[in-house]
Structure 1
Amino acid sequence: MPIVNRFHDLTEEITAWRRDLHENPELLYDTVRTSAVVADKLREFGLDEVATGLGKTGVVGIIKGKGGGAGPVIALRADMDALPILERTNKPYASKTPGVMHACGHDGHTAMLLGAAKYLAETRNFGGTVAVIFQPAEEGGAGAKAMIDDGLLTRFGIERVFGMHNMPGMPVGTFAIRPGPLMASADRLRITIDGLSGHAAKPHLSRDPIVAGAAIITAAQSIVARNADPLEAAVLSITMFHAGTTDNVIPSSAELRGTVRTLLPEMRDLIEARLEAMVAQVGAAYGVEARLDYSRDYPVTANDAAEASFAADIAAKVVGETNVDRNVVPTMGGEDFSFMLNERPGAFIFAGVGEDVANLHNDAYDFNDELIPVGCSYWTTLVETALPRTA
């Protein structure tokens, strides 16, 4: 969907920023170059304040509206980090760092928020204050929490928070959101099994951790199948099983790893408690010692109902009501913007990046630059609506 406004003229410049970031991806908190590029551009745009080093490598820019910024403070957030994936797009601006690529579109998120910051700093057609947040380590590093722990929300007096993520499979010019849970909590589990090694021909003289591990995997699936309310979403996936070194030795130990994802805190509690009991009891039944280490990583990403409605209204202003899904089906993927939504009212929205774009976290994925004027327009329309000028 064409957007004919200031961003129509800026799209080529913002695209160049995006492709430079794509060429130079960085992981987790190691977004040193990316953070420097962002901070330099924000200073070039004439922001009122540019703060660096929050959450190790996070950057925050402050833009005051008419009246010196008096009034409410809202925040817009983009993530900056890439993924440990070998890129196979064969694009001229493909990653120059082997084994690292922007496979989730964070380069596009960063570029769009930079474009919005440039426009807002030029026009100041709003009251109050906007904080533009550029966050590291979304991909498993909880960078949002690290920035909060460094005083992000209190230092800048942030009252409301908004996030956006591109979504393959949705046409450019469409948005999707819902009140309440939009994305799942994301937890990690590690099960360690200690048995007794021995000869494969004499299993009765051993305590086999592989057989015990297989039993634990099978039993664990019954938690979702038989303990969880079938009307509530939950996923328990064992994704790693490491044991043994050769074909004629029963090993002494095994290790399982996986994830648990839920949309309700009480479901999260249930699965952790049942898994803890099941691991110990199945291990005892097989004569091995089995231990569970359960790590709660990202909470449920839950939109405030009023803010979700507001964000949908903004999207409708940009692309039209028929192009906004206000009650999209939740996804079981995780997102650390959840930490910000736990602290302040706000909303997270999906923006269509194209029906033919490869899936997120795929080595053939590339952000569709046609989304740039749409995403930038969403940000600036949100600011100018949330913070209307009073003079």
Structure 2
Amino acid sequence: MLNESDLISIRREFHQIPELALHEFETHRLLEKKIKKMPQQFLTIREIGELPTALLVKIGGSHPKRNIGYRADIDALPVSEQTDTDFRSKHEGVMHACGHDLHMTVALGLLDYFANHQPIDNLIFFFQPAEESDNGGKFAYELGIFNGEWNVDEFYGLHDNPDLPSGAIGCRNGTLFAGTTEVNITLTGKSGHAAYPQNSNDMVVAAAYLITQLQTIVSRNVDPIEGGVLTLGKITAGTIRNVIAGTARIEGTIRGLTQKMILHIQKRVREVCIGISLSFDCDVNVELNQGGYLPVENDPTLTTNFISYMQNANNVQFIKTEPAMTGEDFGYLLSKIPGTMFWLGVDSLAPLHSDLFDPNESAIWTGIQAITGFLNERMTQNV
């Protein structure tokens, strides 16, 4: 069986080979290599032809009442690592800055335990590509990979949290992560000479008015008790100081803790853009792309059960957490299959997505012990 030292070494192997969404081929090979070293008596490994970097592993239970799913995301971010560790990324400009290397390692630790100790229920491990972009969870579900004997009755998954103590488990009922929507707006008018504005249709001015009006959506159309976010992070327009810009592009993001709120903000964005189009006699094209990044809404029954176990387990530090405005495509899977997402504390000084993100590796073993205990307890329950 894998021990704590083995698992830390495995995490460092993954950390050195980060890969972007849908290109996790080296990661896939390493995962498969590690899994094939485990006892194979109860294991079935499944490749997905249409999603070649994904991997499914089923552990057959001794007296299965249900199929319990566990998901671990495997992709990395386009971030140039600035840590000084001797196992830093070998792939220039790519880094496991969100801790998916640790997510995979915890999943392998769980898989190894149950490969050596046959579970009561069937366990299905889903090593998922493309969480950071390209909607890997949604893509997988729509391919039908969880149908038939690979059906998942309930799904669990974690995300590391740099703000919690190493090894602590954090969770809450309701929404854990916000849903997100990409906002892309293109304004088209007419370019011209700066000295003759009457002959042009200035999209810098139109974009400025649009940005100002969009910023009133959250402050004046959203219940402050519920909350929401509309951030416009990028604007491009113009080529030179003495030419009136005929086009402008604005890019941003919507965040909301419920799908209802996200749809409300989306609706207001479209309405405001229609108003600007009329006011400035220009074309305003709005693209709102949510894909699989729905709010991560934990199932109330399963999550109450999960929290109850973690609160009462002797070896677990449980912390009730508040919702986060970060996004996670596990929300799509939880919209189709009941389940629970939770935090694993990793006590890092640098935040998620930082080029200095450096999780405390002691969280790996502690997290595996807590999750193993929960899964064993869950499998003794009849409902």
Q: TM-score range by the shorter chain?
A: over 0.9
Does the 8 A contact of 2:162 with 2:359 survive in 1? no
What does residue 153 of structure 2 align with?
159
- Secondary structure of the corresponding residue to residue 175 of structure 2: strand
What does residue 309 of structure 1 align with?
304
Alignment of 1:215-230 (within 5 A): 215-230=209-224
How far does residue 245 in structure 1 lie from its aligned partner after superposition? 1.2
How far does residue 40 in structure 1 lie from its aligned partner after superposition? 2.2
How far does residue 280 in structure 1 lie from its aligned partner after superposition? 1.6
What does residue 267 of structure 1 align with?
261
Corresponding letter in the other structure for 1:301? V
State which of 75, 80, 96 in structure 1 corresponds to 2:69: 75
Task: Measure the CA separation in 1 of the matches of 2:223 and 2:90.
Answer: 47
What does residue 174 of structure 1 align with?
168
Does residue 46 of the first structure (1) align with residue 42 of the second (2)? Answer: no
Task: Measure the CA separation in 2 of the matches of 1:281 and 1:117.
Answer: 55
Task: Measure the CA separation in 2 of the matches of 1:226 and 1:44.
Answer: 58
State which of 345, 361, 364 in structure 2 corresponds to 1:372: 364
Task: Measure the CA separation in 2 of the matches of 1:205 and 1:246.
Answer: 17
State which of 133, 136, 140 in structure 1 corresponds to 2:129: 136
Does the 8 A contact of 2:18 with 2:96 survive in 1? yes
What does residue 92 of structure 2 align with?
98
How far does residue 204 in structure 1 lie from its aligned partner after superposition? 2.3
Alignment of 1:1-391 (within 5 A): 10-47=3-40, 48-53=43-48, 55-67=51-63, 70-124=64-118, 126-155=119-148, 156-297=150-291, 298-316=293-311, 318=313, 323-326=317-320, 328-354=321-347, 356-388=348-380
Does the 8 A contact of 2:315 with 2:370 survive in 1? no
- Secondary structure of the corresponding residue to residue 333 of structure 1: strand
Task: Measure the CA separation in 1 of the matches of 2:23 and 2:200.
Answer: 46
Does the 8 A contact of 1:318 with 1:377 survive in 2? no
Task: Measure the CA separation in 2 of the matches of 1:329 and 1:49.
Answer: 38
- Secondary structure of the corresponding residue to residue 382 of structure 1: helix
How far does residue 31 in structure 1 lie from its aligned partner after superposition? 0.6
Corresponding letter in the other structure for 1:53? I
Task: Measure the CA separation in 2 of the matches of 1:389 and 1:307.
Answer: 12
What does residue 3 of structure 1 align with?
none
Does the 8 A contact of 1:196 with 1:253 survive in 2? yes
How far does residue 26 in structure 1 lie from its aligned partner after superposition? 0.5
Does the 8 A contact of 2:167 with 2:364 survive in 1? no
- Secondary structure of the corresponding residue to residue 85 of structure 2: coil
Task: Measure the CA separation in 1 of the matches of 2:314 and 2:3.
Answer: 18
Corresponding letter in the other structure for 2:295? V
Corresponding letter in the other structure for 1:305? P
Task: Measure the CA separation in 2 of the matches of 1:202 and 1:127.
Answer: 78
Taking structure 2 as the reference length, the TM-score comes to 0.94
- Secondary structure of the corresponding residue to residue 90 of structure 2: coil
Q: Deviations over 1:281-336 (max 9, x none)?
A: 11321232112111123111100111112222333355657x3223x210111111
Does the 8 A contact of 1:130 with 1:383 survive in 2? no
- Secondary structure of the corresponding residue to residue 343 of structure 2: strand
Does the 8 A contact of 2:180 with 2:262 survive in 1? no
Task: Measure the CA separation in 2 of the matches of 1:324 and 1:62.
Answer: 29
5+ residue gaps in structure 1? 1-5
Task: Measure the CA separation in 1 of the matches of 2:161 and 2:381.
Answer: 32
Change (3 A) 1:389 1:312: closer
Does the 8 A contact of 1:78 with 1:113 survive in 2? yes
Task: Measure the CA separation in 1 of the matches of 2:314 and 2:13.
Answer: 28
How far does residue 157 in structure 1 lie from its aligned partner after superposition? 2.1
Does the 8 A contact of 2:168 with 2:367 survive in 1? no
Change (3 A) 1:99 1:319: farther
5+ residue gaps in structure 2? none
Task: Measure the CA separation in 2 of the matches of 1:183 and 1:219.
Answer: 27
Task: Measure the CA separation in 1 of the matches of 2:144 and 2:283.
Answer: 43
Corresponding letter in the other structure for 1:144? G
Task: Measure the CA separation in 1 of the matches of 2:79 and 2:330.
Answer: 22
Change (3 A) 1:369 1:318: farther
Task: Measure the CA separation in 1 of the matches of 2:312 and 2:45.
Answer: 30
Task: Measure the CA separation in 2 of the matches of 1:320 and 1:95.
Answer: 33
Task: Measure the CA separation in 2 of the matches of 1:319 and 1:220.
Answer: 50
Corresponding letter in the other structure for 2:363? L
How far does residue 260 in structure 1 lie from its aligned partner after superposition? 0.5
Task: Measure the CA separation in 2 of the matches of 1:276 and 1:37.
Answer: 45
Taking structure 1 as the reference length, the TM-score comes to 0.92
Task: Measure the CA separation in 1 of the matches of 2:36 and 2:158.
Answer: 23
Q: Deviations over 1:125-149 (max 9, x none)?
A: x312101111100002211111212
